[in-house]
Structure 1
């Protein structure tokens, strides 16, 4: 039973280290950067076309945290 447990733990460790964690990290990084860019462009176009004051621009950007995914 001990060799089987060691083998299964080793397989689980290798899978979680080299497959699961990089995939989760990639998706987390991709969605965070993508939502940040979307929020940045939305704030930029609000400033360019509507010309509100800077406080309103920062208020609008504060409504959309960078961790949320905007579809």
Structure 2
């Protein structure tokens, strides 16, 4: 699994960071989310999938 962030769409709502803090953080200077682990381990899959679903601007996608 690979996490992809569309920084052009990201509005830094922080839902991803709250849902999967081991994978996402916020770059307050840039005003976007950042990916801490582009290829998170399988045990974080459920949290990452929830983070992708919770993004209000659909800036996150998963690639297998």
TM-score by shorter chain over 0.5: no
Greater RCO (CA < 8 Å, at least 6 residues apart) = 2
TM-score under structure 1 length normalisation: 0.28
TM-score by length of 2: 0.31
Determine which structure has the larger strand proportion and give its number: 2
